[in-house]
Structure 1
Amino acid sequence: METRKIQQVSNGTFTVSLPREWADGEGITAGTVVDLHTHLDGMLVIQAPECEDDASMQFTVTVDGGDDSAGDGLEQTLRAAYAAGSKQVVVEADGTFDAAQRQAVRRVARNLVGVTITEESDASVTVRNVLDANEVSIRQSVRQLQFVAVSMHRDATAALTGAAPLDGFAERDDRADRLFAMVDRHFTRGLDRLDEVDALGETRPELFRLHTAARELERVADQAERIAAVASAVPDPLPPAVADEVSELAEVVPEALDDAVQVALDGEDPDAAREALSARDRVREGVGKVERRLFEEADPDVDVDHRFAHALHALERTAEHVGNVAEVGLRTAVRTHNMDERPTRENGSESESAEHSQRA
């Protein structure tokens, strides 16, 4: 760190000189326009303007034309570029693109928010992200992800217990992936660019908490996908008594998740976050009892499909992710000064609640 003396010019404006080494490193000369960011904590940050030709914003990748195995790798590269915050990727073929490679590029453009193909020829394809951060609401995206994850959880567990068939599940899974990928992209760009944070209308701590909540919601959707896979693969349903218990445990999740997300977004009502933590504990304990009854205490002459254990484990993991969102809510309550000093909550131990509050 170094210090600089504030100067005053004739019209009363305060000025301070910039370190020459920093200016040279950022390509700043006389006449360059820089970004000034003021923060509620009293800091003033000077940041060089974003360059459209910056290597982190756009790059070129070359693939072997006609290589059928290059499609998956190309899709992974484009997804990584999206997550890293790149604005443009030029894909060049060493030869001519084959159908699988073109399909991979189009699949990425179709499945990622804001991505479009701007130029295409026999030997190259240009993929660009056209979504402006000013058009994005991270909070609304988290809300949408919550709705998708909850609907996937309800349908997957209903299929597992034989209450309803699966319908439109794959489309919602893709939507959950798209929503989280968009949140992840803007979070990553916010780490690099303060103007991205300004455009999103969130502070960096808020953006971090929203990203954390979105990541847990995306994992709830992943667990629902695992439950649905078991429900689709196992020919025989759960025994009726066990199915009723699983249904009761599964129904605890949506309300707890709704409460946890609400506290994570606004920091109000920390008791709701504590109740979500209590719900997590109840589901975790209940799943353990169901597993013992299903696999250890069952009639030895009755063959129970072992794949049900994978579904029950996914339900338990879903509850863990709900608890993680609730802990984000408690951290939000602390930062917004809404945290009370009562560490107890219903249906849970006093010491366990205190532990969660300290970790938040």
Structure 2
Amino acid sequence: MESRKIQFTGKSSYIVSLPKDWVESQGIKKNDSVIIIPHRNGTLMLMPKAGKKRIETREIDVDIIEDNETLLFRILISAYINGYSNIILKSKKEISPMVRNCAIKFAQSAIGPEIIDEDDATITIKDLLDPCEMPFDKTIKRMYTLTKAMHESAMSAIRNNDKETAKKTIEMDTDVDRLHWFVSRQFNILLKNMEFSEKMGLTQNEGVYYFLISRLIERIADHAVKIARASLFVMDEGISADMAGIMSSQSETALKIFGKSFDAWTKKDINLANKNIDSIEKLISGCETINKEILKKNYKSATYMSDIVESIRRTGEYSADMSEITINYHLVGNKI
């Protein structure tokens, strides 16, 4: 960091010189134009050219990974989330079927990446989607809709002793994951690329809150999966209609908190957010009552039933966390 003095010339012009190293590195010549963009936080962004797209490439040596497909997939997701536009898988030998299958699985799982080139020793994956085409709020709204449907589906499976519905609920989690990966990718690009921040109309600070909301919704979806998986074991042992009804009642309470927390976020309503935070105590009390009833009746599948109740409670608690984020986010720069 360095400071430079402002000079005044003529009747209304303020001038500051540009660092020589930066000018030369950007290839700026005499009489070239630069783009100046003011930000809401008081900073100015200086760009040498308009429309210059940054392309970041990450090369991965698959020989080091050996035959660990799970590790390779996680590395690909990590490269994607970190904002790399091109991912190149390289081998000193021939690309193995495992690596090729993992690359295909990754391209099918994430939003945007496609395999654009391949030979015996390399596979090139390129992100073809402009992240500006999917605003944060629309992606998060889709995540909310899917997650709510997952939770409702899992509880429906318990009430109706429907294993197929439970299995379909588990499969839906893939869609929520890929949307969360995309939000994470956008967030990391936002941190590194001020031009992207300007195009999205968001500051980096605002991006943090969108990422946190996305993360909480993804965790709520994970608990819908836990409910569905536990329900498969509960169905084998059997569950009374009364117990299924009591669980469903608490599930509805948790989903109400979830829905109102999402409404508070979208409507910037900190009063609604505050009420949601206070309402979580009723859910926790209800879940504790169910757990006591499970132990009293000595169900064979008591452990799995308790897991379901725990996930219902966690759904409500994560929803309350969303309301806390809403208050934190909308407090900055807004009058109360």
Q: 2:287 touches 2:309 (CA, 8 Å); kept in 1?
A: yes
Question: Deviation per CA, 1:218-250, whole angstroms, max 9, x where unpaired?
Answer: 000001011100112331233332222111110
Question: Deviation per CA, 1:225-283, whole angstroms, max 9, x where unpaired?
Answer: 11100112331233332222111110122232222122223413x23212322332222
Partner of 2:259: 258
Gaps of at least 5 residues in structure 1 are: 340-360
What is the distance in 1 between the residues matched to 2:10 and 2:333?
A: 42
Partner of 1:354: none
Partner of 1:107: 105
Q: 2:83 touches 2:188 (CA, 8 Å); kept in 1?
A: yes
**TM-score w.r.t. length of structure 1:** 0.82
State the secondary structure of the residue aligned to 1:274.
Answer: helix
Partner of 2:324: 327
What is the distance in 1 between the residues matched to 2:188 and 2:48?
A: 18
Matched letter for residue 83 of structure 1 = I
Whether 1:267 and 2:265 are equivalent positions in the alignment is no
Partner of 2:166: 166
What is the distance in 1 between the residues matched to 2:110 and 2:96?
A: 22
Q: After superposition, where does 1:82-121 map in structure 2 within 5 Å?
A: 82-121=80-119
Matched letter for residue 325 of structure 1 = M
Partner of 2:250: 249
Partner of 1:276: 276
Gaps of at least 5 residues in structure 2 are: none
Give the helix-richer structure, 1 or 2: 2
State the secondary structure of the residue aligned to 1:328.
Answer: helix
Q: 2:170 touches 2:228 (CA, 8 Å); kept in 1?
A: no
State the secondary structure of the residue aligned to 1:256.
Answer: helix
State the secondary structure of the residue aligned to 2:62.
Answer: strand
Shift of 1:167: 6.1
What is the distance in 2 between the residues matched to 1:336 and 1:36?
A: 24
What is the distance in 2 between the residues matched to 1:28 and 1:147?
A: 45
Matched letter for residue 215 of structure 1 = R
Residues paired across the two proteins, number:
329
Partner of 1:200: 200
Q: Which moved more, 1:257-266 or 1:111-120?
A: 257-266
**TM-score w.r.t. length of structure 2:** 0.88
What is the distance in 2 between the residues matched to 1:277 and 1:211?
A: 20
Shift of 1:46: 3.4
Partner of 2:309: 312
Partner of 1:230: 230
Matched letter for residue 237 of structure 1 = G
What is the distance in 1 between the residues matched to 2:102 and 2:280?
A: 40
Cα distance change on mapping 1:224 and 1:338 into 2, 3 Å: farther
Q: After superposition, where does 1:1-360 map in structure 2 within 5 Å?
A: 2-8=2-8, 13-20=13-20, 23=22, 27-28=25-26, 30-31=28-29, 36-46=36-46, 52=54, 57-64=56-63, 67=66, 69-162=67-160, 165-166=165-166, 168-234=168-234, 235-268=236-269, 270-295=270-295, 297-298=296-297, 303-335=300-332, 337=334, 339=336
Shift of 1:179: 0.5
Shift of 1:66: 11
State the secondary structure of the residue aligned to 1:316.
Answer: helix
Cα distance change on mapping 1:283 and 1:200 into 2, 3 Å: same
Question: Deviation per CA, 1:81-111, whole angstroms, max 9, x where unpaired?
Answer: 0011111011112322222211100111011
State the secondary structure of the residue aligned to 1:151.
Answer: helix
What is the distance in 2 between the residues matched to 1:74 and 1:167?
A: 27
What is the distance in 2 between the residues matched to 1:118 and 1:33?
A: 35
RMSD of aligned residue pairs (Cα, Å): 2.7
Q: Which moved more, 1:180-189 or 1:9-18?
A: 9-18
Question: Deviation per CA, 1:178-218, whole angstroms, max 9, x where unpaired?
Answer: 11000000101111111111122222222211111110000
Shift of 1:45: 3.3
Shift of 1:11: 9.6
State the secondary structure of the residue aligned to 2:237.
Answer: coil
Cα distance change on mapping 1:229 and 1:34 into 2, 3 Å: farther
